[in-house]
Structure 1
Amino acid sequence: MPIPVEDAQQRLCALVSPLPAEKVAAADAVGRCLAADVEARRTQPSADLSAMDGYAIGAGDHAGPWHIVGESAAGHPFDDMLKAGEAVRISTGAIMPRGADAVLLQENATREGDSLSLNGEGDPTPRHIRRAGFDFKVGDLLLRSGTRLGPVQLALALSGGHGHLPVHQLPSIAVLDSGDELSADPERCEPHQIPASNGPAIEALARPFVSDCLRIGPVKDTMDAMLEGLERAASADVIVTSGGASVGDHDLVKPALEKWGATIDFWRVAMKPGKPLMVARRGDQVILGLPGNPVSSFVTAYLFLLPVLRKMGGAEEVLPHPVAMPCKTPLPAGGKRTEFLRGRMVGGTVTLIEEQDSSALRALAEADVLIRRNIDAAPTSSAETVETYRIRNGGIA
């Protein structure tokens, strides 16, 4: 009997653990997940800074006029103590001189030689001072273990004084296409063939989360060919097959896996598309048998393969997060399986794409989201809120 989607995801993710940690250069850690908390090794900013271009004003005299005694530029601070009645030219990001307690904006000042006065547009104020440590101080927690590092997280780690970071290793995968109808060359595809598109799509979807991807196939629908393909994939952390996971005469993935020494953990999930999903194990390897229809293959890879890769890579959160959105299209009652319908985002709302066949790649390419319809869900009218998953660019961007 097919198992619920949530149970299948939990069972699958329970089969794997985060891979070991290693320390790498911070710039090489982008796309990886932290294996430990990252704390600040320095204070940011390390001193009071000017937030604007203008003049730093000595404490005790905010009325002026002032005598300009020097300049503080970014990377070139003014070293002397500033006295009442004195000012220094200061640029954005420059260190505030000792003795200064306010900044007069450039546009609020009149300067004649070394004499500075107000022009009536505004007074000196401490509001334009960025205080030392306002962003973070030594010992502050900057990034939690399990955080996936992007460009901003990289910048934060570097600013915190980290040139190297502890991250989890990334898993390797092997993707195996099967089916006599598949053509490896889309430019030389006979009428009885279809281009082998699932394998490249799965690889593209998984690429940000893996260290290496071995493509195998298309593999012929024979037991020997399947076993040979599986043997080629024997060193991968995760094996993904596409096609041959159902119950037809030529669906050989299940018997081939069993003959190869794998143990089937579960087979068939109560979802549409993607019911024939299969999960197996062989030693430390996890094998996912995905359906052959391209939409089913993508949806199951998105909902099952990516969480496994995220967990092995050390991510704190591995499952995709649904986003509630109003749906302009009325939806019928749900059936006996959880459905994932293709939808398009339009101005903060989502509309249902008319074509929902599991082989319709053009409709999938036009989709921004998957609309989740739970088992026996009540019908909806226009503008009711639905759960959606972002799938544009694999949900990464």
Structure 2
Amino acid sequence: MKLPTVEEARAAMLAAVTPLASTSTPLGEADGRRLAEPVRALRCQPPFDASAMDGWAVRVADVARGARLRIVGESAAGGEAGLAVGPGEAARIFTGAPLPAGADYVVVQEQARRDGDEVVLEAGRGPASYVRPCGGDFREGQVLLEAGVRLNPWRLALAASAGWARVVCGGRPRVAILPNGDELVEPGRAAGAHQIYNAGAPALAAFVARQGGVPKALRHARDDEADILSLIHGVTFDLLVTIGGASVGDHDRVKPALRSMGAELHVEGCAMRPGKPVWFALLPDGRPVLGLPGNPASALVCAELFLGPLLAAVQGGAEDMAFETAVLAEPLPSNGPRDHYMRARIETGRDGARRVTPFPNQDSSLVSVMAQADVLVRRPPFAPAAPLGAVVEILRPGV
């Protein structure tokens, strides 16, 4: 059976999900969420001509010839309007304060000296006016954030500066995370000689939370269909993510357990590494299930390529994945028949060039390598050997 490409697998997954109902959300609870409606400016920002520096508000005509100007008042941020500056006059002004009527220039305080009720300008007109014009950042009614965009602290600041206390976000998906394997033991507990700690569930819970979802990590299931079904039964979720049990061995019981519930497989494997066993299904009620490989590196690479876009889609957004380019800091051999996503470190040289160094050992069980990686280097199927300095595609983790 020919396995689908990453793009084909992701398209099949996204086509099978529908967005959740949107909700009005306070800004303080919207980080990581997806906008369901655009954010428009409620007024201009700044809403008045404002000073960009501490200094003196004057007329350009008076600055051009140098002058001794009469001080007529003071303008501070948040102060009352009504102050005006006429010919031969100046007003003390502070950063962020409204420019008095008639003024069109700010002389910075270092270029002037006060002499009683007058200010003496000690320099001619410079290249900058130090005036922030009304609407210089954005205008009333302007779309500042499009529907579907993922909110972050900078975008929340933009929404707040536009006057919004709440925004309409896509529904927050509840994500149940089910690790699987007899070999697993929870961190903090005593591990047997042939057991390993459950690293995938905490990592994926953090990934889900950063992508705007609500994670619920379930107890890890044994390699037993009844145990798997008992853990799923009665759990409320919008998306189920399983870890492990994704292959076709005698101990891989997750897919058979879900098939017994009536799950319909839409993707079964993908032409990629790490992560070939990834799969996707829909339960009879339409809820999606994403099956991830058990090795943490495989699971996290698949989370970047599939789980992130799925979480965006159910929140009404679009995938954020944007491949960039960098140059290799060391040569790479030719690639095999599958997309290869190599964990790598990236550095920016003094020349501004971004150079990536893939780790020499790409074994998908190596959590230490994943923790050191800044980017994933994508090597297409059958890519020829790449010399030092060759340009490659890179993907920065979405977390």
Per the normalisation by structure 2, the TM-score is 0.93
Task: Give the aligned partner of residue 249 of structure 1.
Answer: 250
Q: Does 1:366 align with 2:340?
A: no
Letter in 2 for 1:367: A
Change (3 A) 1:91 1:125: farther
Task: Name segments (4+ residues, structure 1) moved above 4 Å.
Answer: none
Deviation at 1:186, TM superposition (A): 4.4
Moved more, 28-37 or 250-259: 28-37
Q: Alpha carbons of 1:319 and 1:132: their partners in 2 closer, same or farther (altered >3 Å)?
A: closer
- % identity of equivalent residues: 39
* CA distance in 1: counterparts of 2:262 and 2:206, whole angstroms: 29
CA–CA distance in structure 2, aligned partners of residues 292 and 281 of structure 1: 20
**Per-residue Cα deviation, 1:247-305 (whole angstroms, up to 9, x for no partner):** 11111112111111211112111111111111110122111111112221221122111
The DSSP-based 3-state class of the residue aligned with 2:228 is helix
1:18-97 equivalences in 2 (<5 Å): 18-58=19-59, 61-62=62-63, 63-77=66-80, 79-97=82-100
Q: 1:125 offset after TM fit, Å?
A: 7.7
1:335 maps to what in 2?
336
The letter for the 1-side match of 2:132 is R
Cα distance in 1 for residues equivalent to 2:136 and 2:315 = 33
Q: Which position in structure 2 is the counterpart of 1:173?
A: 175
Q: What letter matches 1:104 in structure 2?
A: V
CA distance in 2: counterparts of 1:325 and 1:356, whole angstroms: 19
Judge conservation of contact 1:268–1:275 (CA < 8 Å) in 2.
yes
- The residue identity in structure 2 corresponding to 1:223 is E
Contact 1:19 1:313 in 2 (8 A): yes
SS in 1 for 2:62: coil
Q: State the match for 1:104 in structure 2.
A: 107
Whether the aligned pair in 2 keeps the contact of 1:186 and 1:196 (CA below 8 Å) is: no
CA drift of 1:358 comes to: 1.5
C-alpha displacement at 1:217, in angstroms? 2.2
- Partner amino acid, structure 1, of 2:91: V
Q: Secondary structure at the match of 1:83?
A: coil
Q: Output the amino acid matched with 1:360.
A: L
Shift of 1:319: 4.6
CA distance in 1, matches of 2:5, 2:83: 71
1:115-141 deviation digits (Å, cap 9, x = unpaired): 22222x333887122111111221112
Instruction: Give the CA deviation at 1:144.
Output: 0.9
Q: How many residues align?
A: 390
The letter for the 2-side match of 1:99 is G
Structure 1 residue 210 displacement after superposition: 4.2
Match status 1:212 vs 2:198: no
Shift of 1:3: 1.3
Consecutive unaligned residues of structure 2, counting only runs of 5 or more, are: 349-353
Residue equivalent to 1:297: 299
Match of 2:382 in 1: 376
Could you say if the C-alpha distance between residues 103 and 214 of structure 1 is closer, same or farther in structure 2, counting changes exceeding 3 Å? Answer: closer
Task: Give the drift of 1:79.
Answer: 2.1
**Where do residues 349-364 of structure 1 align in structure 2 (5 Å cutoff)?**
349-364=355-370
Q: Which amino acid aligns with 2:332?
A: L
- Say yes or no: does 1:280 pair with 2:281: yes
Question: How far 1:42 moved relative to its partner?
Answer: 0.9
**Letter aligned with residue 70 of structure 2:** H
- Rounded Cα–Cα distance in structure 2 between residues aligned with 1:215 and 1:329: 40
Matched residues in 2 for 1:93 and 1:68: separation? 19
Residue of structure 1 aligned with 2:195, choices 193, 206, 220: 193
Contact 2:31 2:212 in 1 (8 A): no
Q: CA deviation at 1:58?
A: 4.4
Q: 1:49 to 1:346 in 2, by over 3 A?
A: closer
- Measure, in 1, the Cα distance between the counterparts of 2:310 and 2:178: 17
- Which AA in structure 2 matches 1:67? R
1-side partners of 2:292 and 2:202: how far apart?
14
1:148 aligns with 2:150: yes
CA drift at 1:66: 1.1
Q: State the 1:32 CA deviation.
A: 1.4
Structure-2 change in CA distance of 1:49 and 1:225 (3 Å): same
Root mean square deviation of aligned Cα: 1.8
Shift of 1:59: 6.6
Cα distance in 2, alignment partners of residues 278 and 330 from structure 1: 33
Counterpart Cα distance in 2 of 1:295 and 1:52: 51
* Matches of 2:320 and 2:161, distance apart in 1: 30
CA drift at 1:75: 1.2
Shift of 1:155: 1.6
Is the Cα–Cα contact under 8 Å of residues 170 and 209 in structure 1 kept in the other structure?
A: no
Q: Deviations over 1:204-261 (max 9, x none)?
A: 221222442222222111121121122244x211111111111111111121111112
